[in-house]
Amino acid sequence: MSKINIAVLVSGGGTNLQSIIDHIEAGNINGKIKVIISSKQDAYALKRAEKHGIEGMYIGKENFPNLKERNSRILETLEEKEIDLIILAGYMRILDENMVGKYKNRIINIHPSLIPSFCGKGFYGKKVHEAVLKYGVKLTGATVHFVDKGTDTGPVILQKSVEVKDHDTVEDIAKRVLGIEHEILPLAVKLFCEGKLKVVGRRVIVEK
């Protein structure tokens, strides 16, 4: 089975990106990261790309101030690299609808809550964990899902929960959730690359 060509879109430090790189280098994922695209020029994720010999690109507001041109450049890059799978690993931009349509059920995102709780517009980064703490839930977690034209509304691939403890801070929850993100995102990528994910309506069936 030929390797799946992967593009990873990032905006920050790229710890989830690193978890995927590590699994690929260990032979656990039948895929190859062809390009890492960052929306921020100084994102540490681009340093990770350089360290591992992966092409890194900055496509953002400074070099492409026109949103339409920016989205076109991203799409052109994906086509040039013959990308099969797009991974959003802390990408803080809304994807163009044309891209979402073209790569239907081939774009994977990681969200730091148990969707459909604490997700959607305005729920990103520490804002998610602040809302979890404020609401007083006893469990939170992370969700890997396919991306559709909504915000955090695509079919759920994998979820894992963690306990919210009585004296937790936002930082405590963030650290615990990030730990499971590093588990379930590479697993979802592995399953995709092995052709084991089947979307039936809103359900994602993991085939044996």
For the question of residue 111 being annotated catalytic, the response is yes
For the record, the structure tokens of 23 come out as 């699994």
CA dihedral sign, ordered 65, 70, 72, 76: positive
Q: CA-to-CA distance for 175 and 183, rounded, in angstroms? A: 13
Q: 56-58 and 139-146: which strand pairing?
A: unpaired
H or E stretch covering 107: strand 107-111
Q: Which residue in 23, 52, 111, 182 is the catalytic one?
A: 111
Rounded distance, CA 141 to CA 161, Å?
4
Q: What is the largest CA-CA distance in the chain?
A: 50
By annotation, the residues acting in catalysis are 111
